[in-house]
Structure 1
Amino acid sequence: MAQNQAALQAVSKALKALETTLAGQQQDVSSARQALQEVEREMADLQQKSLVLNQTVATQKAAIARLGEQKSELQAQLATQKDQISAVLRLAYKQNNQPLIKLLLSKQRPEDVARHLYYFSVLTDNQQQQVAKWVEEQNLLATTLRTEAQLLIEMEENKERLVEQSRKLKSQQNKRTLAIAAINSEAENTIGNIARKEKELAKMTELIDQLQSKLASLGLEFPDLEGRTNPKGELPWPVSGRLKNAYGQSFDGSVLTWQGWLIAAPLGTDVLAVQRGRVVFADFFKANGLLMIVDHGAGIWTLYGRNQALLRDVGSWVEAGDVIAAVGQSGGYNESGLYFEVRKDGEPQNPANWLQKR
C-alpha cells in the first residue's frame, strides 16, 4: 500500500513538473495578453479561496444550527429535572447536610461535582442517578455553549475574509477590463482575430502532442484506466447550459471551425468530469483561459476551458460527476460559458457523438 502511494505521489510530481514546463513554453508574446493572463490567474486564485471560505462558512452555519438544537433540547431536559433536583436539595436541607447543598449550588465544574457525589450516602440510588444525570447534562450544555461561541467567532472571521476577498476581486476585475480593452485595441492593428485563432488552434494541437509525448517518455501509465469500455454516446454533459457553438461550426464566418463545444452557463456553475480519469493539465492556456485536461485512458482526453477557477490539481484522480472547475470567462471573454473538447489519440472529436443525447 505504501509503495502504491509513493508511486502515485511520484506520478503527480512528474505531471506537475511537466505542466510547469509546457505552460512556460506557451507564454504569449503579446504584452496585453500577458497582462490579462496575470490578472485572470490572480482572479482564479481569489475565486478558489472564496469558494473554500464559502463552503467553510456554510459548514459552520450548519454546525451552529445543530448546536442550537442540542442546546434547546438540553435546556428543556434540565427544566423538566428542576423539581427532582429541588427535592434532593430539600432532603439535604432537612437532614442538615450543608456540604451537599453547597456542592450542588457551587460554581464548580460539573465534572468535579460528579466526582464528589458518592460521599453523600444520604441520597438513595435513584436520587444519585437523578443528580448524576443532571450534572452530566449541565456539563454537556456548558460544552455546547463553549463550542457554539467559538464557532460563531470563527464564522465571523471567515465572513470578514470573504469581504476582503471580494474587495480584491473587484480590483482585479477592473484590471481585467483594462487588459481586454488593450487587447481589442491591439487587434485592430494586427493581422486580426482570425489569424490569431488559427495560431491558437495550432498551439492547442502542439500542447496535446507535447503532453502525449512527454507522458509516454516519462512512462506515466495509469493502470486504473486500462481496459475501459468505449463510452461513446454515454458520457454526461460537463455542465448544465445551452449549446452556443457546436463542433464543425464556422468560426466568425472563416474557414476555421470549432473543434469542440461552447456551452453557455452562468458564472460559477459547477463543471463536472464526464468520466473517471486523471488530471494531466490544469493551468492558464492562451484564449482557452483556465484550462483543465483529463486523461481517461484508451487515448480519450477531455478538455475544459474558459473556467473561473480550477478545483483539482494536476495528478489528481477524478470520478464521473466530480466538480472539477467553475464556469467562467477567462481568456478575455465577456460572456460566461464552458469550452469543452473530446480528443481521441490527439484528434478533436464531435462531442455530440460522445455525450448523452438531450
Structure 2
Amino acid sequence: MTVLFRHLFLSLFLLSSIGWAAGEPQTPEEAKQQIQALQKDLKKLNSWLKDIKSERSDVEKQLEGKEKDIQELLKKIQSIQESLKKGEKQLGELRVQQRSLQLSIQQQNEQIAAQLRAVYRSGNEESIKLLLNGDSSEDAERLVQYNRYFSNARQSLINGFVTEVSDLNLVEKSIRSHRAQQAKEETELVAERNRLTSQQADRRDLLAKLDKDLATGDKRAKQLVQDQKNLQDMLQRLEEALADIQIPDQDVPFSSQRGKLISPLKKLSELSTNGSINLGGVTLRAKEGEPIHAIFSGRVVFSDWMRGFGFLLILDHGDGYMSLYGYNQSLLKEVGEWVGANDTVAMAGSTGGRPDTALFFAIRHNGTPLKPLSWVRAG
C-alpha cells in the first residue's frame, strides 16, 4: 500500500514539476500520456480510500453521500450567484451605454432641426436677393457650392444619427436578453436553494440516526479512536510518499514562520482539542460558509471526505511540514493544485458528523504534531 501511495504522489508531483526541470511536455501526445498516468494512479488512491470506507456503517455511508450532494449544490449555487453578479455588471454597462446613446441622439436631432431651419431661412433670402439684384452667374454658382457643402455636412450628421439609433436598438435588445437570462438564473437559484434546504434536512435526519447508533459512550469512543487511527495511517503514508519529493524553494521557509503564518479563519476561537494527542489538532469556531485560508503556500495532497473529519484538505509545504483543514462544507482545491498563502481553499462547515460548524486545524512536521495556534498570527 505504501508503494502505491509513493507511486501516486511521485507521479503527481513529477507531472506538475516538469515545468521547473524540463519545460512543458514537448508534444500533445506526451501531455496526454502524463495525464493518463496520473489518472491511473488516482484510481489506486481511490481504491485505498474505498477499503477504509467499506468498514463504515450504512448510515455513515449515507451521511457521506448526502454531504457530497450538499457540496455540489453549494458549488452550483455559488456558480449561479457569480453569473448573476457578472450579468448585473454587464447590464449596468449596457444601461450606461444606452443613456449615452439616447443623449447623443437627442443632441443630434436638435442639431439637424436647427440646421434645417437655418437652411430654409437662408435659402429663401439668398434666392430673393438673386432675383431682385440680378447678381452675376458667378455669385449664383458660389451660392450653389455653399449650399452643397452644408448639405453634405447635414447628410453626415444624419448618417451618424441613423447609426446611433441602430446602435441603441442593439443595446436595448441586448438589455432585454440579459434581463431574460437573469430571470432564468434567479428561478434556477431559488430551485437549487430549495433542494439544498431539503438535502440539509435529510442530513439532520441521518445525524440523528448516527447519534442513536452511537448512543453508548463506549461505541462513540471506539469510533473516535478508529477515525483518528485512519487519519494517522493516511498521514504516515503521505509523509513517507512525500519524503523524497522536493518542493521548489520558497522565498521564506516554513520553519522560519512560527507565529507569523496566515490565520485559517478571520477570528481564532478554540472550541476544544480534537481529543487526540497524536494528531495535535484543534477545533476552531467558524461560521457556516466562512472562507478557510491556506496558512502558507503549498501543494494539495489530499482533498476528499473522511469519516470523523468530513471534507478534509491537506497541504504539503515542503521540508516535512503539512497543514490539515477538516469539517469543511466544501473543498475548493483538488489534489495536485498549488495554492498561495491566504488563498481560499475551502468553506467552513459541519461535515463528518459534527453537530455544529467548526474547523479542524492541525500542523505536522516529519510526522510530529505541532501546536498549530502557536504558528499562526491572531485572526
For this structure pair, what is the TM-score category when the shorter chain's length is used for normalisation? 0.7 to 0.9
Whichever residue aligns with residue 241 of structure 1, its letter is: K
Q: Which of 251, 268, 271 is equivalent to 2:292?
A: 271
1:284 corresponds to: 305
Matched ranges for 1:158-307 at <5 A: 158-189=185-216, 191-215=218-242, 221-223=246-248, 228-230=253-255, 231-245=257-271, 249=273, 251=275, 259-307=280-328
CA offsets per residue over residues 307-355 of structure 1, 9 Å max, x none?
Answer: 1111122222211122211111111112112111112123221112311
Matched, 1:157 2:202: no
Q: Is the 8 A contact 2:311 2:330 kept in 1?
A: yes
Deviation at 1:40, TM superposition (A): 0.7
Give the number of aligned pairs: 328
RMSD, aligned CA: 3.3
The structure whose residues are more often helix, as a share, is 2
Q: Deviations over 1:120-146 (max 9, x none)?
A: x77556435533443443333233222
- Inter-CA distance 178–79: structure 2 relative to 1 (3 Å threshold): same
Greater alpha carbon shift after TM alignment, 286-295 vs 229-238: 229-238
Q: Is the 8 A contact 2:303 2:335 kept in 1?
A: yes
Structure 2 residue aligned with 1:351: 372
CA 1:237–1:12 in structure 2 vs 1: closer, same or farther (change >3 Å)?
Answer: farther
Instruction: Name the counterpart of 2:337.
Output: 316
The one of the two structures with greater contact order (alpha-carbon pairs below 8 A, sep at least 6) is 1
Cα deviation 1:26-51 (Å, max 9, x = unaligned): 20422221111111111111111111
Name the SS of the counterpart of 1:263 in structure 2. strand
1:82 to 86, 109, 112: 109
1:3 maps to 2:29:
no
Counterpart of 1:116 in structure 2 is none
SS of equivalent to 2:304: strand
- Partners of 1:9 and 1:226 lie apart in 2 by 30
Distance 1:93 1:287 in 2: 89
Deviates more, 1:323-332 or 1:23-32: 23-32
How far did residue 220 of structure 1 move?
A: 6.0
Q: Which residue of 1 aligns with 2:50?
A: 24
Larger deviation, residues 147-156 vs 14-23 = 14-23
CA offsets, 1:84-124, max 9 Å, x none?
23346668999xxxxxxxxxxxxxxxxxxxxxxxxxx7755
Matches of 2:156 and 2:365, distance apart in 1: 71
Gapped regions of structure 2 (runs ≥ 5)? 1-22, 122-147
Query: What's 1:105 paired with?
Result: none
Q: Distance in 2 between matches of 1:205 and 1:334?
A: 23
Deviation at 1:285, TM superposition (A): 0.6
Q: For residues 93 and 294 of structure 1, do their structure 2 counterparts lie closer, same or farther at Cα, with a shift above 3 Å needed?
A: farther
Paired residue secondary structure (2:270): strand
Q: CA contact under 8 A between 2:330 and 2:348: conserved in structure 1?
A: yes
Call closer, same or farther: CA 1:32–1:333 in 2, change over 3 Å: same
Separation in structure 2 between the aligned mates of residue 61 and residue 179 of structure 1, nearest angstrom: 39
Between the two proteins, what is the percent identity of the paired residues?
A: 24
Offset at residue 256 of structure 1 (A): 5.6
Instruction: Give TM-score scaled by structure 2 length.
Output: 0.76
Cα deviations by residue, 1:254-292 (Å, 9 ceiling, x for unpaired): x86772222212111111112211211111011110111
Cα deviation 1:232-262 (Å, max 9, x = unaligned):
222111112341235xx483xxx86772222
Give the Cα–Cα distance (whole angstroms) in 1 for the partners of residues 48 and 99 of structure 2: 58
Instruction: Please give the TM-score of this superposition, normalised by the length of structure 1.
Output: 0.80
Residues of 1 paired with 2:366 and 2:156: CA distance?
A: 73
Q: 1:276 to 1:137 in 2, by over 3 A?
A: farther
| Structure 1: runs of 5+ lacking an equivalent | 95-120
- Letter aligned with residue 157 of structure 1: K
Q: Which secondary structure state, in structure 2, belongs to the residue aligned with residue 164 of structure 1?
A: helix
